[in-house]
Structure 1
């Protein structure tokens, strides 16, 4: 192996030499800015425990559904990559317990990630953060594994130390509405308020058709201290939990629905559907109508308490029933579908869209709606911001298309700044770095074409890389 793995310093910048020179200057103006990571899925317990990572597979492979899904698409099974089975599935397939074997499988298949954003993120993580000497391969898998093991046992590579190493200013976790928030309270005492903050995620409570719903409603009553035996009590309990999240430092809520429908129901219908659900007899059509109604209710609560409402519809969860049965959710089998915003959001925007107290960030995995729907909505309603390319769109070409599709209508300042949306903790700086490089390239194009002065491009770079996220996710009532 070579002694130093040198990444191309101009990676992901424009290929045309003159524009690349401009982009390099613009990128350097924003490259070292602190990271504002406001839409993440790293488990808060990782930071509360602050223990050394167990092994390279546990840190980099098993929790990264981007990485796992690529290997599964090539014939590997989740169990071969260390993903455990759910309890009670009766699965007979063995789960790989040897992390070195999992790491070898990854290294032997490094070529599969060519051309993907996962390859970019992994290169940044392995070379820049963990200082490995060479790209993975079948030949060096064991040597890299041993070096990584030694590195992650060091105190300066524990989770809280990595926050500083990775220059993370603020990190938001995504937390069930049922969370007692104890880990966040402990971290606020350790790190000070506002460094690691929760995000309120009520999806499992507002989607009333799933088998565990009644039990979760009982848990909601327990954690809130509010009787959830009727619909009004349910709403009161949700308001109680939102207040608890705000007190713990939350700045936003997070809503992952199949559609963007926000049609409210008459109170009597909402009460009837809730009552039917408690009795275990809710109809699928009523469950869908209730989910849309609850998005409207969440918007109403957001206008009251100031939490930013993040909405990202358009993903069919758990497309493979077998993978869901064996391994549970979030295993790489959530697949995008077409989504409509203009009509579906009208009930909420008619009521709250012009309110200075209501703030909503819209995300999509359907890039066809950027210029047709989302940019016009964000370019008109003061309450709306357009979220960064997210999930399947979190890639160089689609980031470029996002700027080309959205900026002319919405401008830069009706967008949210970058969000990294990841469970893979060590990939956070890589994702922000890629976004900054793509934005630098877009700004350089505007400068090269005489559409933006260089001084304004440099100022815009700071906004896109740092300031906009702080503004879009300002604390409630600030």
Structure 2
């Protein structure tokens, strides 16, 4: 479905280097997409219902978009986040968004939206208050066509594999249905996401632990660990290859069984201190690595975001509404206990994601350049713009090369934006490799092999696909 519009966008401006980049990009431009980490709801493909309207498609659940609209004075109520969706005047919301389209110039979300509008809907004219209704009708009409339904988009976008992010006690019924559906060529796999089960500071931790313990005959801390192992095995049997951890800190700690039991009990009865809770989470990251050694799930750590920074917004609208803010992150000291124990274990793989660019060259690339278990996570969240993706390559390749990376991950709930995000990464990598060819640091033949591996062999290895 991608068009030839602006075929050279994001590529180097020097004519000779651009020609090489165009050649490299052309090798992978239509290659199938591997999406080993994301947040698309798998029931979307079971139900296969049309997308309801342009606001639900592009605005409502995209916190990249809602945060900038909020910063410009739009309330989240006016976007419709608090009301039942059937009561929202989506056309009015769309007009307000088009009026503020200039806010997204130069941003990653502006690039995704512009690319998606052009490549999927054929809309290349600017969004303005004056043409908002016309564009709304054009998109809304397109969404009624059969080729715009979720399953058809998986085909037209050439998505070979799509991993979702799932609660440890999720039934995984949509995954079972999809895996048994021979008409679906895309593999849709679950990923184990236990944050609210291992972090006592999470508001739902006590309730979730009680639910988890109800799945096993054993109680207490030992039963808790066994229940987590059982759920992980269930995910593996359903096709999962990774377990994901979203944490503020990458600190890890090995506690004795007695100490861990005591903190676990205090956390369950509500008497744990802040220090207790932080130590228990660090210990559970350590224990999760042990479990990954046992069951083979790739461990991915997404560290360094203080979630729900604005308490009133969280209390009224909940999580993922644009008020998560990056914080400085450290990996070397925090992960040392985990890596001392498991860093050289055969089969153990740990992918590190950050929103703190200073850690790429100082910590993550050097760790990946020594430990066979450590891989460099692709630019994530606040860093998945073209410019930061270029800086990522420069900061990591010089120390760890290309093959210690994860491959690109889109990390999105927005199905429509997946091709635009992967296409951006391919263009950035083509430009980076072309400059290395121009500098005579790589031959064209070497660059061609690396270009292909970046979209296929490298993510397959890192995520055990």
Q: TM-score, normalised to structure 1's length?
A: 0.94
SS of 1:282 mapped into structure 2: coil
Please show how residues 278-317 of structure 1 align to structure 2 within 5 Å.
Answer: 278-317=268-307
1:212 maps onto 2:204 in alignment? yes
SS of 1:245 mapped into structure 2: helix
Determine the structure 2 residue equivalent to 1:148.
139
SS of 1:175 mapped into structure 2: coil
SS of 2:300 mapped into structure 1: strand
Please show how residues 114-129 of structure 1 align to structure 2 within 5 Å.
Answer: 114-129=105-120
Is the Cα contact below 8 Å between 2:355 and 2:381 reproduced in 1?
yes
Quick one: which of 53, 56, 61 aligns to 2:54? 56
Quick one: which of 244, 258, 265 aligns to 1:254? 244
Is the Cα contact below 8 Å between 1:79 and 1:95 reproduced in 2?
no
Is the Cα contact below 8 Å between 1:314 and 1:366 reproduced in 2?
yes
How many equivalent residue pairs? 462
SS of 2:13 mapped into structure 1: coil
SS of 2:240 mapped into structure 1: coil
SS of 1:432 mapped into structure 2: helix
Please show how residues 388-399 of structure 1 align to structure 2 within 5 Å.
Answer: 388-399=378-389
Determine the structure 2 residue equivalent to 1:81.
79
Is the Cα contact below 8 Å between 1:80 and 1:95 reproduced in 2?
no
Is the Cα contact below 8 Å between 2:160 and 2:186 reproduced in 1?
no
Distance 1:340 1:178 in 2: 31
Quick one: which of 404, 413, 422 aligns to 1:423? 413
Shift in Å, 1:228: 5.9
Q: CA RMSD in A?
A: 1.7
Determine the structure 1 residue equivalent to 2:195.
203
Shift in Å, 1:84: 2.5
Shift in Å, 1:96: 6.9
Distance 2:336 2:209 in 1: 29
Is the Cα contact below 8 Å between 2:154 and 2:186 reproduced in 1?
no
Determine the structure 1 residue equivalent to 2:34.
36
Quick one: which of 160, 164, 175 aligns to 1:173? 164
Shift in Å, 1:350: 0.7
Shift in Å, 1:160: 1.0
Determine the structure 2 residue equivalent to 1:159.
150
Distance 2:44 2:211 in 1: 24
1:13 maps onto 2:5 in alignment? no
SS of 2:116 mapped into structure 1: helix
Determine the structure 2 residue equivalent to 1:90.
none
Which consecutive unaligned segments of at least 5 residues does structure 1 have? 87-93
Change (3 A) 1:211 1:121: closer
Quick one: which of 22, 25, 28 aligns to 2:20? 22
Determine the structure 2 residue equivalent to 1:91.
none
SS of 2:181 mapped into structure 1: helix
Is the Cα contact below 8 Å between 1:376 and 1:409 reproduced in 2?
yes
Quick one: which of 72, 92, 105 aligns to 1:101? 92
1:161-218 deviations in Å (ceiling 9; x for gaps)? 1111111010000011121111111111115697000000000011113342222122
Shift in Å, 1:344: 0.8
When structure 1 is superposed on structure 2, of 15-24 and 252-261 the one drifting more is 15-24
